[in-house]
Amino acid sequence: MLLSEALQEFDLSLTGVVAPATQRWYISSVSRLIKSLGDRNIETISTSDLRRWRVSLLSRESRYATHPTRPEEEGKLSKYSVHNYLRGTFRFFSWLVEEGLLE
């Protein structure tokens, strides 16, 4: 299963279970991962891939590049932003295991 397909199923699983804002936040976090890694099969994602993604978040030199209302500006992401992206992605991979899609 591709990451994008798994994300669609994850989104469906959240509907009516979490607040809409929380659901959007989860989907946004995982979408950033997909943008970085590419739309790959979920079984090909390694711990090293996820670590490299974390490092790429920590080493970014600009913020708000894809924000709908804020202009992009120079500067690193806050540690809170990085933590939130990682939390959302962790929840997604936990769900994949719970659903039996990954070991």
Query: pLDDT tens-digit profile of 23-70?
Result: 999 998 999 899 999 999 999 999 999 999 999 888 877 776 767 787
Q: Report how far residue 60's alpha carbon sits from residue 63's, in angstroms, rounded to the nearest whole number.
A: 8
Whether 75 and 62 have beta carbons less than 8 Å apart is answered as: yes
> Residue 97: its pLDDT value, please?
96
pTM for the structure as a whole: 0.83
**pLDDT higher than 90, residue 4:** yes
Q: Report how far residue 30's alpha carbon sits from residue 54's, in angstroms, rounded to the nearest whole number.
A: 12
Query: pLDDT tens-digit profile of 68-88?
Result: 787 777 888 888 888 988 999
